Amino acid sequence: MAAMHPTRRQFLAGVASSLTSHLCATPLPADRPVVSIVKIHNGRVDSAVEEAIDLLGGISAITRGKDRILLKPNLVSPMPTATTKPVVIRTLAKLMQAAHKDVSIGEGSAAAPPFNVKGTEVFRTTKIELLNGMQQAVFDQLGYSELAKSLHVPLINLHTGELVEVKVPGAFVFERLTIHRSLVETDLLCSVPMMKTHALAGVTLGMKNLVGAFPGAIYQAVRGRMHDAAAKVEPSGTAVAVVDMVRANKLGLVVVDGSTAMEGQGPTEGTPVQMETIVAGTNPLATDMVAANIMGFEPPQIPTFTWANKAGLRPAQIDEIEVRGEPVEKVARQFARPQIAPWEFVRNFWATREI
């Protein structure tokens, strides 16, 4: 009989199982987070996502005791070069459906013509009709409407609809945050960002992706009110608000789409970079720290990480994280830095008017 050779996914699952057995024999510190790094081979983004999840212990372990899952891509605008690829969301949704989970996809995009973009000017807005039109257009143009229909999962506009208030203990900015009811009712929020630099935050990854959970109906599209309030605490007008939103949600899985990344003046004006990498973890801060390290950033360079540590979130150092799969140095690339400017400067020339 011919010998049977395991598939790449089966092999990695076996490695993960063996590693788990080894760790049981030689335990690591209980609070040591695990982050997986997987290279994409032959354009198979789906296989890379599956492998990254397997290296974390598998979707059943990650979602144990959690029935309702909300997937949050980064769809900042209708630009395919600046947004999470649908194949990453499709793969995660199918994995979760195979584990008998109730899956939905939610987003609150920042801007799209002709709704709050006129020519080169971007506007703030709280108008429900504009927010609804904008979000539907983004879903349609990026292929998410078709994706959701094919998977039989709902698409949720996080800007409008039934909004509720939640408390944020120890808040930096918002002692009470208004968010979409679906975020409150989900058992697990999975952030699926595109790997990008950011002109305010340095990088935009899993935690920063939760800016899309600030409903425009309250905080304005492009989150002008959020930035204005956060800038009273720290210059980026972003980091402290992000940490408050993270603490208001059940963010328990981050899968970073590093198939095509963006360097330079992100989140939309940067240069695409072929990274062919997926990064995943159940600790949002650890996952973002590893992804940022791949991009050439040290934790102290990213204000969101500093403020997350001030809020009591861990880890604080890269060497406190267990990396599985590819080593960081094998996939790392020094990303071109964005020109960082404080929000109080940016607000004088960008999104200065409301429509």
In this structure, what is the dihedral angle of CA atoms 65, 75, 239, 198, given to the nearest 10 degrees?
140
Would you say 48 and 41 are in contact if contact means Cβ atoms under 8 Å apart? yes
pLDDT of residue 30: 53
**3-state secondary structure string across the chain:** CCCCCCCHHHHHHHHHHHHHHHHHHCCCCCCCCEEEEEECCCCCHHHHHHHHHHHCCCHHHHCCCCCEEEEEECCCCCCHHHCCCHHHHHHHHHHHHHCCCEEEEEECCCCCCCCCEECCEECECCCHHHHHHHHHHHHHHCCHHHHHHHHCCCEEECCCCCEEEEECCCCCCCCEEEEEHHHHHCCEEEEECEEEEECCCEEECCCHHHHHHCCHHHHCHHHHHHHHHHCCCCCCCCHHHHHHHHHCCCEEEEEEEEEEEEECCCCCCCEEEEEEEEEEECCHHHHHHHHHHHCCCCHHHCHHHHHHHHCCCCCCCHHHCEEEECCHHHHCCCCCCCCCCCHHHHCCCCCCCEC
At 306-338, the pLDDT tens digits run 999 999 999 999 999 999 999 999 999 999 999
Mean pLDDT of 179-208: 98
At 126-138, the pLDDT tens digits run 999 999 999 999 9
pLDDT of residue 31: 72
At 35-91, the pLDDT tens digits run 999 999 999 999 999 999 999 999 999 999 999 999 999 999 999 999 999 999 999
**From CA 286, how far away is CA 333, in angstroms rounded?**
19
**From CA 281, how far away is CA 206, in angstroms rounded?**
10
Domains of the chain: 33-346 (3.40.50.11440)
Mean pLDDT of 208-230: 98
Q: Is the pLDDT of residue 10 over 60?
A: no
What is the residue-averaged pLDDT of the chain? 93
Instruction: Give the chain's radius of gyration (CA, Å).
Output: 19
Q: Is the pLDDT of residue 27 over 50?
A: no
Q: How confident is the model at residue 191 (pLDDT cuts 50, 70, 90)?
A: very high
**pLDDT above 70 coverage of the chain, percent:** 92
